[in-house]
Chain A
Amino acid sequence: MVIGGLEGYLIVFLVMSGIFAILTLGLNLQWGITGLFNIGIAGFFAVGAYTSAIITTVQSPDHLGGYGMPFITGILGAGALSGMIAWLVGIPTLRLKGDYLAIATIGIAETIRLIFTNESWLSNGTRGITGIPGPLREVLPHYYYNLFYLLITAAFAGLAFLFIERALHSPWGRVLRTIREDEMMAAATGKDVFHFKMQCLVTGAVIMGVAGGLYAHFIGFISPEVFKPMQFTFLIWVMLIVGGAGNNKGAVLGAVAVWGLWTGTEFLIDALELSTDYQTKAGALRIITISIALELILLLRPEGLLGETKKTFD
């Protein structure tokens, strides 16, 4: 059975966009709504991916595992562990100024990468974990499996969207936004700022961990190379800032648009069939382009494509 390659590619693209949209929504909760500066996204994503992979794979001499649990258990575990790590990072940093959280999150992401690279008993080191099962992968033909997976991803993305959208308009969300605008005021009205920030940081990290799990089961293979911390994290940030921080629709739009641009240029470079040296340089050029795009948006259109819909008092 031959099905149009383009259509197949589109489905893969949409699944990846969905995963990135979930990540961007998680960041929107942390940064767009509450103003928490997390630049360790790659770390939480990696923890999610590895956790889910280890929970669900069959016994292997190369890495920890052999639990063979179902997909959904893996995803839940991914979110739980990622959230726990966020909690640990939050304890020393959330009482301090925002930059400390920034530096600490980058530290944890780097440490996580070092652990997955060096602890072979856990994660098979740089060779990574292969054969991560996906739901109904054995039963469905490849094309339909991808389509099925798109539905799963869309469901999770929709869930994250609705959850954050609801949270935004709840009293909880209002406190978070007050914390972003004026922490002192939030404290003065009797809100325990530290606990609200912690809930937000952990919830965002759970969402990111789930995205990591979804990624691992879709691709079926993970290695520390996938999680080049800064490049990956930076991409998510660009997605949110381009789309419009504080706006959930903007987060999703930014994720799809930037991911389209990112894979599109990769496609282009592959098509040019350059020598390895030039390929690395062309890759660098892509990052430069994205960085310039970010700087321009910061300078010229700081609210992003879709800004936050500001209500004075709701």
Chain B
Amino acid sequence: MIVNGIITGSIIVLGATGLTLTYGILRFANFAHGDLMTLGAYAALTLAGMNLPFGVVFVIAMAFTAAAGILLDTVLYRPLRKRGSIVLLISSIGAALLLRNLVLIIWGPRMRYYSQDIQIAYMMPFGIRIKPDELLIIGIAAALIVLVHIFLKKTRMGKAMRATADNAELAQIAGIDTDRVVMWTWGIGCALAAAAGILLGMEVQLRPQMGWDILLPLFAAVILGGIGRPYGAMAGGIIIGLSQEISTAFISTAYKPAVSFAVLILVLLIRPSGIFGGEGRWS
């Protein structure tokens, strides 16, 4: 159960980190994030069908989704940016439905799998069973998170992104090209979304609805960690993943999405700025 929680958690961590970056820097809740995950997962399905090696599939799918995100921003979001975050939110819901139904038309409504092989679980100490795929999921998620960490801490662009998330006007005055920051944010946020989508597809299966169904846990993780805080989102993702899985000991597994909702409401009641949120700048 704990292992399952960590697997689900690491998928949520990847999705939530991307979501919190766009949320913090662009200052609106992008409801199309889940469906960008779906797009990335399906792009990988097509690439995998071309018999490309796994690593290549992964990188191309991430780049493709990043490009799709930047396109979405240029066409739909940028012209609306001055009209406030809620108008952007409405637009993103439209974009979400657009993406999901495009996926449905291109790849069909049925469930798809990357591989039909049945994997034999490894026996780990303490009687833990884990499948090779699941080890891979945790490994990839951890590696990407380390990469994001290095990017945010060490590179100029990473620092510029953090500065913009903290205070956009101040960052602009300090000579940061905020347009480029916005582009990079979309690129990285959507690349992470694609990675999360692929891992989700490996763990369960591919459905056009898959990204939308995980959006609520993603938002719960983002708010739990404090909006715009990548490290908060990482912690939030693991907490949400674990609480969803542990809840299955007490209530029906069908209620997993409702568990993240309950956690979310609890956070909003007790500490709306998130557990690492400081003085609640966003409220």
Contacts and interface: CB of A to CB of B under 8 A. Distances in A.
A245 B225 CA distance: 34
Nearest to B265: A92
A58 to B, nearest CB: 29
A167 B254 CA distance: 42
Given A110-B258, A284-B102, 12 more contacts: A92-B265, A95-B272, A96-B272, A97-B282, A98-B85, A99-B89, A107-B258, A107-B265, A118-B254, A234-B97, A288-B102, A298-B87
Contacts of B60: none
State the 9 A-B residue pairs at the shortest beta-carbon distance, nearest first: A107-B261, A284-B101, A92-B268, A291-B98, A284-B104, A291-B94, A111-B258, A99-B29, A294-B94
A295 B96 CA distance: 11
A237 B90 contact: yes
A281 interface: yes
Nearest to B219: A103
A302 interface: yes
A214 interface: no
14 contacts: A91-B269, A92-B272, A96-B268, A96-B283, A99-B28, A99-B29, A100-B223, A100-B272, A107-B264, A234-B94, A285-B105, A295-B76, A295-B95, A299-B79
Contact of A114 (B76, B96, B109, B257): B257
Contact of A280 (B87, B104, B212): B104
Given A99-B29, A230-B212, A291-B98, A104 B254 contact: no
A106 interface: yes
Q: Describe A's contact surface by its main secondary structure.
A: helix
B220 to A, nearest CB: 8
Interface in A106-164: 106-108, 110-111, 114, 117-118
A291 B216 contact: no
A37 B282 CA distance: 17
Given A98-B86, A291-B98, A114 B254 contact: yes
A106 B216 contact: yes
Interface in A55-109: 91-93, 95-100, 102-104, 106-108
Contacts of B261: 104, 107-108, 110-111
Interface string B248-273: 00001011011001001100110010
Contacts of B154: none
Contact of B97 (A103, A104, A110, A230): A230
Contacts of B252: 118
A95 B268 CA distance: 10
Nearest to B215: A106
A298 B98 contact: no
A93 B264 CA distance: 11
